[in-house]
Amino acid sequence: MSGSSTCSIGGGSGGGGGGSGGGSGPCGACKFLRRKCVTGCIFAPYFDSEQGAAHFAAVHKVFGASNVSKLLLHIPAHKRLDAVVTICYEAHARLRDPVYGCVSHIFALQQQVVSLQAELSYLQAHLATLELPSPPPLPPPLPQFSVPLPPFSISDLPSSSSNLPTSVDLSALFDPLMTPSQQQPLGGGPWAALQPQPQQRPVGPGGSGGGGGDLQALARELLNRQRSAAAAATAAEPPPPLSKCK
């Protein structure tokens, strides 16, 4: 209960002692009862001389001064102020509502709590309909496994020195009269694939397109003709005259 409804509770003129000892007049309870406020009055610390009389009137009408005095004497001193506040609140509530007293106020507060809870549930449901649906979460990215490449070393290269010939005959490359079958390859393995293949070209209109073999045959034929012409010229020349012996 607020301080205004309990009157200046805790501000009595006695200040924890008697009301008349301070010289400022009796406390509110003794003033209402029209008696002398003695030192150690139980009501003096809680009912002041100004507004305490009106609040004590409600307490006295509902509970009685002697009953409240006995109740406060059985309560520890540090809790008496809370007891006086609740007694004053209950006394005023009972005067307003003789049937329910402060219980009517409790019922009103409970009904207010129920109404507020229903309103809160309605507002929460309304907000749920206004919320936009959240998009589905993206799938986690697939893990990328990177295979490390093995370290490269020159020792990993294939050793082909055993396939290479120890000596190469280069005379076959410069002899045009040798047939391809007579030419020896430079070597086996990868060198055979790199050796250039002779292209076959026709010698002339009457050529058979034999390639290198036709060229060599033509060269032999020309050589034979030259030899035959030289032999014929030698045979046609007259013999030298014989010298006469003297």
54: left (phi over 0), alpha (psi -120 to 50) or beta: alpha
Distance between CA 44 and CA 79 in Å, rounded? 15
Tens of pLDDT along 111-135?
999 999 999 999 999 998 887 777 7
Which one, of 22, 75, 20, 17, lies nearest residue 46 by Cα? 17
Based on the fold, state whether residues 27 and 92 are members of the same structural domain.
yes
Domain boundary among 48, 72, 96: 96
Give the angle subtended at the CA of 124 by the CAs of 118 and 127, to the nearest 5°. Answer: 145
Tens of pLDDT along 166-179?
555 555 555 555 55
Residue 218 lies in a domain: no
Q: Name the residue range of residue 28's domain.
A: 20-96
**pTM (2 decimals)?**
0.43
Terminal-to-terminal C-alpha distance of the chain: 187
Residue 231 lies in a domain: no
Domain boundary among 47, 73, 96: 96
Residue 108 lies in a domain: yes
Residue 54 lies in a domain: yes
Give me the pLDDT at residue 80, please: 92
How large a percentage of the chain has pLDDT more than 90? 27
Tens of pLDDT along 31-74?
899 888 888 899 988 998 888 888 999 999 999 999 999 999 99
Tell me how many domains the chain contains: 2
Based on the fold, state whether residues 43 and 31 are members of the same structural domain.
yes
Based on the fold, state whether residues 76 and 122 are members of the same structural domain.
no
Residue 200 lies in a domain: no
Which one, of 187, 152, 196, 195, lies nearest residue 168 by Cα? 187
User: Cβ(46)–Cβ(10) under 8 Å?
Assistant: yes
Question: What are the angstrom distances between the C-alpha of 158 and each of 66, 89, 150, 188?
Answer: 120, 107, 16, 15
Domain boundary among 96, 113, 137: 96
Give me the pLDDT at residue 103, please: 92
Instruction: Give the chain's mean pLDDT.
Output: 73
